[in-house]
């Protein structure tokens, strides 16, 4: 993906379809459309996966909680989709057993949960070996000794999948580009162009150069997540259903401070459900669900958010005794849900909906990370119906498209690559879980990063590996700022705050060299990274 070349092509060419929004939904639409033969472009005003698509619970899950809302069709769709996404990227969508403790006076109770999970397994098409297993009280406490034992009455183990949402988005975007889509980040849509009162393009500002240009397209799709209504306002079509934004927060603590034996999904007294998910050297905890009306560009964790999650953990795992001092990172994101009068944040449906304006703008909102592929298919099907029905184009084939780095026949092949890379990294004095982290983020692309590392090692192995990843992000993934790399290409800001804090200056220096920044530009980028490192550990009121 070459940003400069793409921008020149965006200026000159006309497109069948232009997608505005570079999150998981927009990336999925770009891949589906380009693969079907539509001339496709995508623009994103920030970096790819800047919004919701880098700030979720990072699970490809079947929506167990939606059984409570009787949304059986949604459970069936996302349940079956997670198996597909695991097959497309087995290194990045990793099997994860989830423990669900059951209590006397909270949740659905033992028998209703047993029946519910049975329905869940059936709807989601879960393989026999991964289907739910009901546990006695003693078995539950053996699975997780940290649990407060007073009112545990039993439990269940069921199947989920863990991922890195931003990397999933990036890989889909890369595959879309490989299929012919022209994509660009830091390109902000400021207005629409019309012919006979129908949208036929957009006006764009390049936030890197401040230049402005137009892009011509037969159909424009608004897939901007929390910003969907803002684009509808520019199009003068925000009427009828509108967005209802809710905020979800996660906190990260060192694993030794909450050493849960497996991922756990537990009730808290106010009726919400919270995840605690071990991930190598850390455990992350979330999420909250509160109404949000603030700045969508700068969604932060508040003291109340952090206190709520710490209290929930300490209530369920009393020996943990977590405090604010244990939090080494956090993230906060927005859910772009469809407003329903009289419903609270937690009660709102996660179903997606498509809106069409009189001027032909198609907008999609709602939905889940897990369901991105089917959401994209519905949008492209509608685009085909409206303008390209006469074309002899291919049907949706994304179910068969292996994502970059994901060409493994089984998960055992993923583990085999981990073992191979552990040996090569060990020879450079890089041990621990470095090989596992590398393979789970990049899959077979890890080989390119390790090749680069071996060719450019300086005797500082930790820093050298980070810079090899930065090289990969710039060369193949359109990263243009250090924060693109630290936050969305590598996840270091969230999952290894102490490590990236040590190596901020070399990362910024590397980007400055690659992009030929002046000293002033380099200082500005360093300040941005420093502020980001502070923002994830210093909470607002």
Structural domain range at position 293:
244-338
pLDDT at 349: 60
Enter the tokens of residue 37: 């033969």
Q: For residue range 306-336, list pLDDT tens digits in order.
A: 999 999 999 999 999 999 999 999 999 999 9
Do both 197 and 213 map to the same domain?
A: yes
Extract the residue ranges of the chain whose pLDDT is less than 50. Answer: none
Q: Which pLDDT does position 194 carry in this prediction? A: 97
Phi first, then psi, for residue 194 (nearest 5°) are -130, 145
Q: How far is CA 43 from CA 17, 379, 472, in A?
A: 11, 17, 22
The runs of H, that is alpha helices, within 262-392 are 303-316, 372-387
Give burial (CB, 10 Å; 0-12/13-18/19+) of 132.
buried
Domain end (from 290, 306, 338): 338
Classify residue 470: in a domain, yes or no: yes
Is residue 527, in this structure, part of any structural domain at all? yes
299 and 443: one domain? no
Burial 48-75 (b: 16+ CB within 10 A, else e): bbbbbbbbbbbbbbbbbebbebebeebb
Q: Are residues 327 and 365 in the same domain?
A: no
Q: How many CA atoms lie within 13 A of 370 on its CB side?
A: 25
253 located within any domain: yes
The model carries a pTM of 0.95
The reply to whether 112 falls in a domain is: no
Do 184 and 254 fall into the same domain?
Answer: no
pLDDT of residue 111: 80
Q: Identify the pLDDT of residue 394.
A: 82
Residues 422 and 506 in one domain: yes
498: domain CATH number is: 1.10.8.870
Helix (H), strand (E), coil (C) string for 466-482: HHHHHHHHHHHCCCCCH
Could you tell me if residue 237 is inside a domain?
A: yes
Q: What is the CATH number of the domain that holds 303?
A: 3.30.9.10
Domain end: 338, 361, 379, which one? 338
Rounded distance between C-alpha atoms, residue 77 and residue 322, angstroms: 37
Q: Rounded to an integer, what distance in angstroms lies between the CA atom of residue 337 and that of residue 353?
A: 9
Q: How far is 512 from 382, CA to CA, in rounded Å?
A: 44
Residues 499 and 422 reside in one and the same domain: yes
Do 323 and 196 lie in one domain? The reply is no
- 313 part of a folded domain: yes
Q: Which of 315, 338, 361 is the last residue of a domain?
A: 338
Task: Tell me which DSSP letter residue 403 carries.
Answer: P
Q: In this predicted structure, what is the pLDDT of residue 113? A: 81
Q: pLDDT at position 108, please?
A: 65
Domain count, the chain: 3
Q: What is the pLDDT of residue 36?
A: 95
Q: Determine phi and psi for 266, rounding to 5 degrees.
A: -130, 150
- Stated as kind and residue range, the H or E segment containing 495 is helix 492-495
Asked if the peptide bond before residue 287 counts as cis, ω within 30 degrees of 0, the response is yes
Same domain for 365 and 451, yes or no, is no
At 370, which CATH number?
A: 3.50.50.60
Of 15, 4, 11, nearest to 478 (Cα)? 4
Residues 37 and 180 in one domain: yes
Q: Say if residue 421 is in the same domain as residue 374.
A: no
pLDDT of residue 107: 63
Radius of gyration of the chain (CA): 23
Same domain, 433 and 526: yes
Residue 233 and residue 249 in one domain? no
142 is a domain residue: no
Inside any domain, residue 375: yes
């Amino acid at each position: 993906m070459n940003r400069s070349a793409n921008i020149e092509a965006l200026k000159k060419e006309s497109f069948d379809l232009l997608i505005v929004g570079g999150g998981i939904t927009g990336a999925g639409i770009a891949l589906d459309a380009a693969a079907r033969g539509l001339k496709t472009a995508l623009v994103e005003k920030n970096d790819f996966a800047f919004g919701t698509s880098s700030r979720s619970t990072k699970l490809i899950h079947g929506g167990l909680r939606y059984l409570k809302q009787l949304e059986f069709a949604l459970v069936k769709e996302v349940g079956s989709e997670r198996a597909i996404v695991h097959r497309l990227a087995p290194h990045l969508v990793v099997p994860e057993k989830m423990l669900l403790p059951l209590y006397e006076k909270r949740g659905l109770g033992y028998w209703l949960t047993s029946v519910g999970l049975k329905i869940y397994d059936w709807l989601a098409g879960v393989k026999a070996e991964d289907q739910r297993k009901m546990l006695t009280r003693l078995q539950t406490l053996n699975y997780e000794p940290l649990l407060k034992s007073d009112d545990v009455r039993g439990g269940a183990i069921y199947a989920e999948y863990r991922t890195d949402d931003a990397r999933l988005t990036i890989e889909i975007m890369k595959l879309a580009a490989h299929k012919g889509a022209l994509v660009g980040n830091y390109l902000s849509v400021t207005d629409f162009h019309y012919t006979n009162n129908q949208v036929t393009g957009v006006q764009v500002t390049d936030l890197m150069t401040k230049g402005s240009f137009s892009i011509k397209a037969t159909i424009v799709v608004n897939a901007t997540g929390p910003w969907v209504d803002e684009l509808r306002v520019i199009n003068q079509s925000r009427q009828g259903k509108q967005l209802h934004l809710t905020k979800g927060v996660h906190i990260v603590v060192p694993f030794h401070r909450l050493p849960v034996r497996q991922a756990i999904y537990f009730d808290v007294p106010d009726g919400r459900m919270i995840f605690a998910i071990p991930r190598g050297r850390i455990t992350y905890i979330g999420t909250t669900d509160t109404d949000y009306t603030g700045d969508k560009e700068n969604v932060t964790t508040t003291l109340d958010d952090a206190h709520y999650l710490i209290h929930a953990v300490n209530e369920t795992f009393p020996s943990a005794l977590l405090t604010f001092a244990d939090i080494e990172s956090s993230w906060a994101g927005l859910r772009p849900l469809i407003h329903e009068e009289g419903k609270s944040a937690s009660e709102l449906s996660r179903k997606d909906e498509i809106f069409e304006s009189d001027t032909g703008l198609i907008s999609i909102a709602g939905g889940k990370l897990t369901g991105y592929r089917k959401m994209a298919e519905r949008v492209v099907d509608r685009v085909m119906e409206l303008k390209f029905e006469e074309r002899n184009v291919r049907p949706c084939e994304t179910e068969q498209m292996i994502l970059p780095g994901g060409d493994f026949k089984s998960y055992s092949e993923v583990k085999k690559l981990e073992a191979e890379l552990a040996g090569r990294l060990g020879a450079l004095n890089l041990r621990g879980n470095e090989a596992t982290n590398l393979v789970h983020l990049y899959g077979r692309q890890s080989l390119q990063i390790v090749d680069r590392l071996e060719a450019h090692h300086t005797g500082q192995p930790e820093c050298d590996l980070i810079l090899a990843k930065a090289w990969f992000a710039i060369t193949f993934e359109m990263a243009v700022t250090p924060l693109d790399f630290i936050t969305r290409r590598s996840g270091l800001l969230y999952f290894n705050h102490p490590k990236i804090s040590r190596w901020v200056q070399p990362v910024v220096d590397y980007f400055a060299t690659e992009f030929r920044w002046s000293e002033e530009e380099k200082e500005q980028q360093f300040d941005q990274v420093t502020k980001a490192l502070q923002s994830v550990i210093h909470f607002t009121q």
